A and B are shown apart, each in its own frame.
Chain A
């Protein structure tokens, strides 16, 4: 599979001509092997030399961008190609980034992680050794961001991640409280913000304060299982853990029975989207009907929502960006509303939250490069990332003021899926802005099951 890995760098293929005899095939294969071997050596040399003599007249900044464009997580990456195109066309990037007195051309190389952690670290290595990227931007769940960030940290390449709870990103890579990653940074939010978004919504629906928790046995699930109880207790809620099930489980009878016998009226989760599809259908079949379902990691995007149909109405989740938030681009002043509208106009698809976060990745990269003294000086660029403090498409982000160094915190809004009133079958409406007072309320919070 070579699809989507390198947008801009065609791989030269030996041309065997019309007649392919056994001999020419063997010769060709031999030549190919030699070329591969040589390439490998060159890669090794150049990465060895990297930090030392980078200013050899190269006037291009290369940015690698990794997201899960295919596979179970593909919903997260739906708008990524559109955003990359928009960024490429924006005057700030198309005219080149000015660093000091020099102007650098910008080359953005897009890679697909195929929703597979091994593939993600593979493409990150490829971007570093073959494309010689100056920075890697990566988005969407720890399965993508963590392997890429780990490669970047060990190879000394500046990296910005997003759309991953910071706990999964930080502790998931073996950090202890006090650890500082030198090259890798991120912006998104964490469990505290999930709590600040979800609990005020629970409080508004009269319930028995029993919370059904569906957390799988993976990076996010483990972080959630440890992180939710301390948030619940002070507010008087009790969690009922459904158990650390394996991703890809085909039957949730035991978990549903447990939630029903404990009479849980609130539901919170952190599963993979296909697993939630099976669970939520089965919950409906077996009559588990929580008064309010607040989901994380799933139903963030219209594609998942359509697959479940009317079962999604009044399920609540978090939104880290909507077109109605009063934010605008720090590089060319495009408003959030314009970004959303332009996306719908260009693709015919409904806006998605990742439009904002992916856009901000490039804003952060732009800001770091313009502040650095030399864009090829990885240490300097990474310094600028760790102290990043700016206001843009996702509001104010301060990488120096987060819970751990190099982590910027976004403020999500509480949203619910409602029956669509316009062009699309379901609309995402802001129903609670306790965690982000900037967000305008667009609808009433209603129980998932009355």
Chain B
């Protein structure tokens, strides 16, 4: 069972501390801090992904998707992976759709120009502030930039010299 967060009590003088208080305030809250809501995806032995889309689209709505229930607060969202574009001076942009809305807006959280069509790393750590408590869904999104070529994401697919394993995860941190 996932740890549950309880709003800390303000203790009063001569207050009777009950078993329920200790279990909720110490056991449950320490358990929550040790194991906060987290969703994690790492790809292995999939096919590499590719898109020529000029607008943000899901990389993989089923596999590169996170779902977690938060207690309310800040959420850290992390992605790293190896990408390339088939066109010189092409590139790619990345963003995350949180409950259907991109958190980066505009051209996304991060973009990369890939000068020589070689695999190169892309990563970001994004902080979502003051996220309401409840269940949330996140999807990694991408598009090609400069309207050139197609962008590839290595997915641990045994691709020669590019058998890289991207990670996409989110954790409530406050």
The yes or no verdict on A and B being binding partners is no
| Chain B residues with a Cβ under 8 A of chain A | none
| Chain A residues with a Cβ under 8 A of chain B | none
